[in-house]
Structure 1
Amino acid sequence: MTQPPQPPNEPPQGGFGKPQEPPAGGFGAPTEPPPGGFGAPTPPPEQPGYGYPQQPPGQPQYGYPQQGQPPQQPPGQPGYGHSQQPPTQPTGQPQYGYPQQGQPQYGYPQQPGQPYTQPGQPYTQPGQPYVQPGQGGPGTPGGGKKISTQAQIIIAAVVAVVLIVGGGVYFASGDGDKDDQAKTSDSKDTKKDGQDDKSLGGGKEKPPANTKSKVAFQLPQPKVGDITDVSGSWITDKAYIKTGVNQIVAYEPDTGKQLWTIPLPGQVCAASRHATEDNKTAVVFAASKPTAKEKYVQCTEVGAIDLALGKLLWTKSVTGGNAGDDKAAFREVTLSGTTVAVGGTDGGAAFDLGSGANLWKPEIKADGCYDMGYGGGEGLVAARKCGSYDNPTVIVQNLKPSDGSPISEFKLPAGVEYVSVVSTKPLVVAADVGDTAGDGSSISDFFSIDEKTGKLRAKIPVDGDKYAANCGATEVEQCSKLAVGNDRIYVPTEEHEGTGEDYGQTNEIVSFDLATGKATTDRADAGERYAMYPLRMDGSNIIAYKWPPYDKGGQIVSIDGGTFKETVLMENPGEESVREAETSFSLDGAEVRFANGRMYTSETLISEPSTAGDRKEYLVVGFTTN
C-alpha cells in the first residue's frame, strides 16, 4: 500500500525546538498502558467522510484514499462549506471551484490512512504501542513482536536524557537528509540581524475590539457569453474597487453601494497589483468590444486610473517589437514608483504615470531578446527571453524605472522557459527548471538574487509534494500563497492529515532564509481542519488567510515575524449559506485582499453560467469587522 508523502520537517508536538515533556511521575516512571493493554486494537472512528484534497485519481494526497482502500462514503461528497448532511453532487458539468464528484470537502472528517514514518524515526500512532523499526504493529507493515513495557521505559529515559543534554530535538527532512538541531524558543535563531525578536517593528493591522465579522456584501457574477478577464481589485480608505465587464467600479466598503464607475471601450486584460500612496494605478484593456466579426480583440490600450476620484487619467498605445507597425499587445502591467511597465509576447514598454509620456517601446535586438514582462513595487525587474523558441535563455534584469537601463542581471539556468518575479526588493524570482515542478505551481526553485550585482545569493529548491505556493505558468507577476519579508520567503506546506480525532486536513506556514537558502525554524500551524496561506507582508508581520473547514468560517491572522505568534484579526461567520459563498472560489484563481478590518475575495476569470444545479456564483464576497 502506498504511503502518503512526508510533510516537511515535521516536528514533535509542541513545535520546533520545544523540549518534550517527561511522562507523569518523572523520567523512567512506569508508562500507563492503553485500555486493554499494549497491543490492544484501537477502535476505528465512526465512518467519517474524507478530507478536502483536490487531487486527480492516481495521485493521492494526505488523507486521500489509497489504492486498495475502499471509500467510507458513497459518491456525492459535500461541497465547500456544507454541513454534515451534504447535498448530492449536481449532475452535468461541475461549476468553477465546485468539488468534482468523488473529491471530498476540505476539513470534512475522514478515515485515517496508513501511518507514515519519518526517516530515522519510528511512527507511533496515538494510543498504540511503540514499534521497533522493522517490526510489526497495528497499522504497520511486516510482522514481529511489539516492544516490551520495560524496553519502552528504558527508551523513554534515554530520550529524555538526550533532550536535556542537547537542549533541543532532532528532526529529519522529507528526503531523509539530517538537518541541524532545531533551536529552542529562546535561541539566537529567532533573532534577525542581531536584534531581539520583539524589535522587528510589527505592522499596521491590529485586531479590532470584536474580531467576529459580518458579510459586507456579495456581488453575483455578471452574465457573459465567453471566458472574460475580470482581474484587478484594490482597497482604499473609502472604497473597494473591482474590475467588471467593460468597466471598473468602486463600492462602499461596508455596504457594497456603488460609488462610481469608469466605463471602458473594451474589456480589462490586466491590472497592476500595486498602487501609489495617493491611490493611482494602471490597467491594460482592449480598444473595443468583441463583435461577431472580430470575436477576440487585442489588448493594446494602457491606462492610468485614479482610484480616489474614479477617473481614467490617460490612455496610450505604442507600436514596435514583434508587432511591427501594428499596435503592440500586452498581457501584463505593473507599477514601480511613477513608472507604468507593460509586457507581452510583442515586447515591453513603459509610461510615466503622471503624464502618460512613453519612456520606452518594445524592441527586438539582433540576439532576439525581448521583455516578456515586469515585476514592480519597490523596484522594477524585467524578465527577458533571448534565443530561439527551441533553446531559449531567460534573464532577469534589475532596471532603473526612469529609463529602463539595467542595473544588474542574472541568467537563469538551462531548462527555464519562463520566470516569475516574486519580489523586487529583496529580489526573488521563481522558475520551473526543466519542467520538474510536477504540481502545476510553476515553481521548482526560488532564486534569491543580489539586485545590485546580479549575483545569486541562494537557490531554494521547493518540492511540489511538500509546499503549496503558486505562480502563473507564463505570467511574470502572478504568484500567490507566499510572502517575502525579513529577508525570508514564507510559504505554506501542502495539506496533510492532522492529529485530531476527526482526522481532518491541515497545514503550516514555514520560511527559508534568503541569504543561505536554508529552511528556518519558523512554523505557524493552521490548526485542525484549517489550511493557512500567506497573503502579504504587513511591516515585519505576515498576513495570512485560513481557509475554513466544512462547519466554520475562515479567518485572517497576523503572524509575528519574530516570534511567529498568531493573532486573529477576523473570524468570518459559520452559517452554512455564508460558508458556501466564502468557499465558492478557488484560491489559485481568485484575488484575496485584506486591509483595515475588511476582507474581499473576487474572481479573476468568469465564464458563461453553468446550468448544473442551483449553486450561486459570485464576483465578489466581502466581510467586515467595522
Structure 2
Amino acid sequence: MTQPPPPPPNQPPQQPGFGPAQQPRPPAPQPGYGYPQQPPQPAQPGYGYPAQPPTGPNPYAQQSGYGYPGYPGGPTAPTMPIPSKPKNNAALFIVIAAVVAIALIVGGGIWYAHSSGGDGKKDDTASSGGGTGGKDTGKDGEGGKGTEKVPANTTSKVLFQVPLPTTKDTTVTAGSWLTDKVYAKSGVGEIVGYDPDSGAKLWTVPLPGPVCYASGRVSADGRTAVVFQPRTPPKGSSAGCSQVAAIDLNAGKRLWTKSIKSGDIAVDFNNVTVAQQTVAVGGTSGGAAFDLSSGTVRWQPKPGDGCYDAGYGGGTKLVAVRRCGSGDTGQLHIQTLDPASGKVISEYTMTSGIDYASVVSTDPLVVAADVNDSAGDGSGFSDVFSIDNRTGKLRTRISTPGSSYAVRCDGIYEVEKCKGVTVGNDRLYLATEEHDGSGDGTRTNEIVAFDLATGEQTGQRADAGNGYTITPLRMDGPNVIAYKNAPYDKGGQIVSIDGGSFKETKLLENPVTVAVKAIETSLSPEYAEVLYSQGHLYMSAVYARTASSSSAGKEYLVAAFGTGG
C-alpha cells in the first residue's frame, strides 16, 4: 500500500485527507490516546491508505501499561499514543511499534434499509486472530469447558521468526489466524500459511494489492475474509479498499473475490467480519453481505432512508452498527441481524450525541462507546452497554472511565477492534490502567470483572504482579486467557485466569534474552496481533515499512514461541 513521505523522526502519523469525491466528514474524534497535538504537517495526497508510523528511534520502545493505537481509519482518525515509560524497564531496546490507520474513499453511497423480522441461525464461527487471541468456539467468550492445557514445561523457546519485509512505501500487514493445521499471516500483497511448529511455508495466496482490513473471525471449517486494494498503486497514492475475498486457511486458497459499485464507482469498505456462513463488509459508502463459500451476494444496501451500516460485529451472531441522520441529531442503532437475509431480529437505539460505537461481543451483545467524548483519552471507551439480543432492550449500562480502564476501541470504522477487554460468563473483563506498584519504581495493573446483568463489579480481581502489566486476550471456555508484559529481568507470560476463583495459572513464559525482550516490546498486544493456543504464542506486526524508516536492529513480521509439551 503506497504511502506519502514519512513524517520527521518521532512525529506521530498525520492523517490523509479526503479524496476528490467529498461527502460530509464524520465528527472529528479527540486527539489520540494521550498524545500531544503536533505542529501542522504538509497535506498528504490520496485516500484509502494508512498513515505513516514514526521513524527513527521508537518512541514506544519503553513499554508501559495498556495503550491501544488501534486500527483507526479515515480522514480524522486519531493519532497514536506515547505510552508512559515504566520506571523499571530502563535501558531497553530500539524498536518500532506501528498501527494501521486506513482512510476512506468517500464517494457516492448506497443505502440499505434493514427490514424487520427474521431468525438467526446456529453459529459455526470461531473467533481466531485479528490480534486478540487464538482458537475459540461457541458464543463470544464462551463455549463450554476450557481447552487450554498446562504444558509439562511452561518455559518456551523460539519456534520461528519471519523477518519484517521492507517496502517502497508503508504497507498494511494486518491479519493473523490460527487453525488446527496452519498459522497464517498477511504479508505485503499476500497471505502466507506457515507450519505452526517449524514455520515452514505451507502455501502462499497472492493478492493483486495490499491488504486493508482483515477479519478476526474464522469459520469452523477454517475460512476467513479480507478487504484489499485491487492493485498496488504508485508510491504516495491508493487504489482504494474495494475488494473482498474469502480465504480457505487450511487449503491455502482464495475462494472468491467480489466488489460492489455505486453507479460506476467501486465502493470502498472500512471493515470486514464473518458471521456464521456470511461475510459482511461495511462503511459510509455502502456495504454488502456475501455467502462465505460461494461469494454470492446475500443482501446489500438499498437506497431510501438516509442511514448506513458503519460496520459489523460477527461470530455467533451478526450485529450492525447503523448510523441514521447527521450532526447532533444523528443516532446509532445497534441491530442484531439474520446473517443470511439481513433482516433485523432486534434493535437498540442509542441516545443522540454518541457518534461511534464498537461491538465488544455479539453473543452476549456488548457495545462500547465514548459518550460525549468523556473518556478524555481518545480511547473510544467511556461506557459499556449490555443489550438483550432477543428484544433489543438495554440490560445495563456500565461506566468505564478512561482514567481507570486501559481499553482501546477504534469504533470510527473498524467496529470490532477493541483491545484490553473480553467477554464471557455473562461478565465483562477489563484491564485497568497502569499504576505504581508496591516495589520501588515499579508499575502494575489488574483485570477486573463486571456483571453484564447488573452492571456491578463482581469483586474478582487478577493482579498482574509487581513490575508486570496484564492484558486480557480472549476467553477459553469460562477462563480468561491473558498476556503479561514482564519487567526487564523476566520473560513475558501467557496465563489462564479461572472464571470462578480468578486463580491464575501460567501456561507459557518466554526466555529472558535481549533479542526476545526486543520482540516482546515491539510486538506486544498494544501494537500488534497476539495469538495463543495450546502452548504456542504468535506475535505479529500490522505494518511493513520503508527501508529508510527501519531501525538498526532486527525486526520481525512474525515471532513464534512454543513450550514443546
Instruction: Name the TM tier (shorter chain).
Output: 0.7 to 0.9
1:316 corresponds in structure 2 to 258
Map Cα deviations across residues 376-396 of structure 1 (whole Å, 9 max, x no partner). 011000011111245421111
Which residue pairs with 1:94 in the alignment? 57
Secondary structure at the counterpart of residue 371 of structure 1: strand
On the 8 A contact 1:106/1:549 being kept in 2, the answer is: no
Partner of 1:560: 498
Query: Secondary structure in 2 aligned to 1:589?
Result: coil
Structure number with larger C-alpha Rg: 1
Deviations 1:438-490 (A, max 9, x none): 12211010000001111100101111111111111412111111110000000
Cα distance in 2 for residues equivalent to 1:261 and 1:512: 43
Q: 1:103 to 1:512 in 2, by over 3 A?
A: closer
Structure 2 CA distance for aligned equivalents of residues 586 and 534 of structure 1:
12
1:335 lines up with 2:288 in the alignment: no
CA distance in 2, matches of 1:330, 1:422: 20
Q: Is 1:302 equivalent to 2:241 in the alignment?
A: no
- Deviation for aligned residue 1:607: 2.7
Residue 357 of structure 1 is matched in structure 2 by 296
Which of 256, 268, 281 is the aligned partner of 2:224?
281
Greater strand share, 1 or 2? 2
What is the deviation of 1:109? 7.6
SS of equivalent to 2:546 = coil
Alignment of 1:450-461 (within 5 A): 450-461=388-399
Q: Report which structure shows greater RCO (CA 8 Å, sep ≥6).
A: 2
| Counterpart residue number, 1:395 | 333
**In 1: Cα distance, 2:498 partner to 2:195 partner:** 31
Residue identity matched to 1:524: A
Partner SS for 1:275 = strand
| TM-score, normalised by the number of residues in structure 1 | 0.68
Task: Name the CA shift for 1:238/1:102 in 2 (closer, same or farther; >3 Å).
Answer: closer
| Contact 1:415 1:435 (8 Å CA) reproduced | no
1:219 aligns with 2:140: no
1:18-40 deviation digits (Å, cap 9, x = unpaired): xxxxxxxxxxxxxxxxxxxxxxx
Pair 610,580 (structure 1): closer, same or farther in 2 beyond 3 Å: farther
In the other structure, the counterpart of 1:623 is: 561
Matched, 1:513 2:494: no
- Superposition RMSD in Å: 2.4
Question: Structure 2: 5+ residue runs without aligned partners?
Answer: 1-32, 38-53, 64-81, 92-142
Structure 2 match to 1:418? 356
Is the contact between residue 277 and residue 293 of structure 2 (CA under 8 Å) also seen in structure 1?
yes
Deviation at 1:98, TM superposition (A): 2.6
Identity %: 53
2:171 matched residue in structure 1: 228
Secondary structure in 1 matching 2:166 = coil
2:149 maps to amino acid = K
Count of residues in correspondence between the two structures: 446
Other-structure match for 2:153: 210
| Aligned-partner Cα distance in 2 for 1:345–1:92 | 32
* Contact 1:348-1:363 at 8 Å conserved across structures: no
Partner secondary structure for residue 483 of structure 1 = strand
Name the SS for the 2:518 alignment partner: helix
Task: State the alpha-carbon separation in 2 of the partners of residues 418 and 385 from structure 1.
Answer: 9
What SS does the corresponding residue of 2:85 show, helix, strand or coil?
coil
Whether 2:564 is the aligned partner of 1:583: answer no
Shift of 1:240: 1.1
Q: How far apart in 2 are the matches of 1:586 and 1:555? A: 11
The answer as to whether partners of 2:320 and 2:334 remain within 8 angstroms in 1 is: yes
| Separation (CA, whole Å) in 2 of partners of 1:434 and 1:103 | 25
Secondary structure of 2:398's partner? strand
| Structure 1 unmatched runs, 5+ | 1-53, 59-90, 111-199
Q: Structure 1's 619 and 506: CA in aligned 2 closer, same or farther, altered over 3 A?
A: same
Q: Distance in 1 between matches of 2:397 and 2:380?
A: 16
One-letter code aligned to 1:542: V
Q: Residue 62 of structure 1 corresponds to which residue in structure 2?
A: none
Contact residue 215 and residue 272 of structure 2 kept, 8 A: yes
- What's the secondary structure of 2:522's corresponding residue? coil
Matches within 5 A, 1:470-485: 470-474=408-412, 475-485=414-424
Do the aligned residues in 1 keep the contact of 2:528 with 2:542 (CA within 8 Å)?
A: yes
Give, in angstroms, the shift of residue 508 of structure 1: 0.7
Structure 1 residues 477 and 613, CA gap change in structure 2 (3 angstroms): closer
Q: Distance in 1 between matches of 2:88 and 2:419?
A: 22
Instruction: Say which of 378, 401, 404 aligns to 1:463.
Output: 401
Q: 2:442 aligns with which of 504, 529, 542?
A: 504
**Letter paired with 1:551:** D
What SS does the aligned partner of 1:281 have? strand
2:372: which partner in 1?
A: 434
